A and B are shown apart, each in its own frame.
Chain A
Amino acid sequence: MREMPGRPSRRGFLKGTAAGVAIASLAGSANAQAPQKEPPPPLDQYERVYFNEAEWAFVMAACDRLIPSGGNGPGAIDCRVPVFIDRQLAGNFGTAADWYMQGPFDPAANPTLGFQSPLTPAEIYRQAIPVFQDWCKTNHGDSFENLEAATQDAALTSLQKGEVGLAPELRDFFQFLLANTKEGYFADPGYGGNHDMQAWVYIGFPGARGAFTSWPGRENAKYPLGPVSISGERA
């Protein structure tokens, strides 16, 4: 993967990951007792299960605008959200395995009747990304990942508002992209995102602790313990 001008560099991703580990270590002494975990590969060396290289470049850049790094709290890239999305699209969600996908289809139906595309979410990503990239080139002169941050935000806003000419069967693309990004930010880290539970640490969600018997009714008392994941990691 090449460097993205004006974007956090590959080095930046690496630094972000290292910083995440550092924050987690500061959060409590528990980490010291846990066995040292092998750090995951940098995002540009991650072995994708669904996305091709061009899709990966787009999703990396889009996630980085939907939940940017910088300011308070980790960004989507710090949390390895693109890994989450890649794995989700290769799994039951991406293949619409649980959904009713028999025709006839009316993808332009009244949206209140819900999802009506003949395409699975994974297919929607695959078909919508090139359409949006062409729109970015026509309207902003370059592929999405090469645009300045403010232009990327404007392009994503156009996508959100349905202004980029997606066919009706692709119209849920932005909603999937945004929802999947937030899912990857906040889901259990076992799914590949929320790396080191950084998003949980940031908001103060304790994860899978699962027992707060003495806590109901306490007034203005902040719960003191950091999160645990389903696999037993602590942050």
Chain B
Amino acid sequence: MATRTDPKKDVVIIGLGWTGAIMGMELANEGLDILALERGDDRSTVPDFQYPNIFDELKYAVRYDLMQKPVNSTLTVRHNTQETALPYRHLGSFLPGDGVGGAGVHWNGQNWRPQAVEYRLRSYVEETFGADIIPEDMQLQDWGVTAEELEPHLTKFESVAGIAGKAGNINGEIQEGGNPFEAPRSVEYPMPPLKNTWDSELFADAARKMGYHPFPRPSANASIQYVNDYGMQLGPCNYCGFCERFGCNNYSKSSPQVCILDALKRKPNFSYKAKCEVLKIEKAADGKTATGVTYFDDNTGEEVFQPADLVLVCAYSLHNVHLLLLSEIGQPYDPDTGEGVVGRNYSYQMTGGTSLWFKDKVFNPFVGTGSGGMTIDDFSMSQIDFGKEGFIGGSYITCGHTGGRPIQQMALPPGTPAWGAGWKEAVGEWYGHNLSIGSHGSNMAYRDTCLDLDPTYKDRHGRPLMRMTFNWKDNDIKMTQFMKARIEEIAESMNPDAMASGYKGDGAQYDVRPYQSTHNVGGAIMGTDPKTSAINRYLQSWDCHNVWVMGASAFPQNIQYNPTGAVGGLAYWALEALRKDYLPNPRPLM
């Protein structure tokens, strides 16, 4: 029970990462009185990411200093609905952020837009290949929005974040040097691409010779100095090699801190509190609206009720779903009956890669940035004949050093011993002689890949942990094996001295130990049918119209790209509906 009730706010925002900062900024500009609640620590570039302390691989990359602490919040995992789920006791496979800035602090900055077909994947597959090719338990769904509708909002996010890249398709006209397979864009990227590292140039040359279309990765690492829509300044990246898992000391990697927060904090009608974890969204007696949130204030040890007219759920995707389940907003999904919507269609990301070693090439791998590098999209969703290949999905294929940090980024040729004299010899011989070509691909949602409340394990507040049920499926393994064959052709054409591939194969089980990606999506998915989606096409809860849920929890299945670009675009799309349609007349918009 709350020990205190605070004065009502117009808006309460749960989580101060990318979407919380965007919603805060735009709604503060509307004159609303806003409070954001962030369960983690307060964080700013200085002192939290400053030179030289941030250049600490052990503290940040290995011990996860900027990430969520499982002692405070975690979930349980099982492979299928028959297994007993066990807690994700320390981080490995995915690294949710907490703290001000959220996962927008420690991301690499690979900022993509989904392909046009990905927003309407079920329709595309049915129209193009026939419904028969969809496996029975694959719950393919459309998003309820189109690439055309989202385009201005994706552009707005890219303008705020300051993305470096080269457009491939401006209003239908293919641009030399960009991605010819991207959905039409209205404008060029705000910044030119980053400088390439040599390894990615070698990859691009090899790909070009095979008839593919290499282009620079769209990057949230600034290539030039830049001032964004909110007057925030970014400085050009200096390729320090400490990007993913680190905050940027150089004001170069786009983050809520660098792009929004210092401007937002100046607004008198916006405030935020760190170390305040929302325990529950409270509902009105009729269950049709939320009255506010109850949160635990770690600063004072108090439970507080914060009334608000509008509740914006802007936490990490998994926590959005957890909070909806705990708050009983929307019917929980039941994988046995297929009924219910909250927790439905969890999906992950299918990645794989081939490493190459060259005795006579020196790459200086510590010269890197989180998202420089070159990509081909020739095997993307829109380019694959699903009927012929026997799977639904696609990948981008990419190469570029993000850093050469020796504890975690020491790739050694196959056959190297894990320890002893042979290992020591190998680290001296091969460090800096390696490049890696990666496949970053889609992952479909299935009837049994879902999120619900765990019957056994509790968090530090006594609330049930969320339970994830997930395993790899044949469709997605076929997809990644297809990419393996394509990548190995490119790799072999580069004549390495040694080569090793790592892709999921037949019978692969989801393993929570090795890092794979933090692209956990779904569970509070968007759509146009309240029977199969938790939120409508504007990201508004079907059940409580004053609860809006941002983030990748909205994706009905995973795209083949990193999610942040779409997450940012969806936030601006939702804002337009909120501003123009909802605030003047609060009600269910669909």
Chain A residues close to B by CB (< 8 Å): 65-68, 70-73, 75, 92-93, 96-102, 104, 106, 109-116, 153, 156, 160, 178, 181-183, 186-188, 191, 199-200, 202-213, 215-223, 228, 230, 232
Contacts and interface: CB of A to CB of B under 8 A. Distances in A.
Nearest to B87: A100
A100 B55 contact: no
Contact of A212 (B239, B509, B512): B239
B15 interface: no
B349 interface: no
Contact of B420 (A68, A186, A222, A232): A68
Nearest to B92: A114
Nearest to B431: A203
A230 B366 contact: no
A81 B56 CA distance: 17
Interface string B52-65: 11011110001110
A92 B425 contact: no
Given A98-B69, A114-B512, A71 B90 contact: no
Q: Which 8 A-B pairs have the closest CB atoms?
A: A208-B55, A100-B70, A216-B195, A186-B406, A203-B431, A187-B58, A112-B511, A212-B367
B212 interface: no
Contacts of B513: 111-112, 114
Given A199-B406, A216-B195, A114 B88 contact: yes
A196 to B, nearest CB: 15
Instruction: Tell me the dominant secondary structure on chain B's binding face.
Output: loop
A186 B89 contact: no
Nearest to A84: B58
B346 to A, nearest CB: 17
A75 B55 CA distance: 24
A202 to B, nearest CB: 6
9 contacts: A66-B420, A110-B79, A114-B88, A183-B58, A188-B57, A199-B406, A206-B366, A212-B367, A216-B369
Nearest to A230: B52
Given A66-B420, A186-B57, A72 B428 contact: yes
Nearest to B51: A210
Contacts of B404: 205
A111 B79 CA distance: 12
Contacts of A114: 77, 86, 88-90, 92, 512-513
Contacts of B69: 98
Contact of A218 (B194, B198, B360, B425): B198
B240 interface: yes
A186 B403 CA distance: 14
Contacts of B195: 216-217
Given A101-B89, A114-B90, A216-B195, A230 B56 contact: yes
Contacts, number: 184
Contacts of A68: 420-421, 424
A213 to B, nearest CB: 5
Given A65-B420, A67-B424, A220-B361, A205 B198 contact: no
Contact of B364 (A92, A111, A221): A221
Contacts of A93: 63
Contacts of A71: 421, 424-425
Contact of A67 (B70, B74, B407, B423): B423
A229 B71 CA distance: 31
A215 B56 contact: no
Contacts of A210: 51-52, 55, 238, 240, 242, 249
Interface in B15-67: 51-53, 55-58, 62-64
Interface in B438-494: 456-458
B89 A97 contact: no
Contacts of A101: 71, 89
Contact of A102 (B78, B421, B458, B511): B458
B510 interface: yes
Contacts of B423: 67
A96 B432 CA distance: 33
Contacts of B239: 211-213, 215-216
A75 B428 CA distance: 12
B2 interface: no
B86 A205 contact: no
Interface in B405-443: 405-407, 410, 418-421, 423-425, 427-428, 431-432
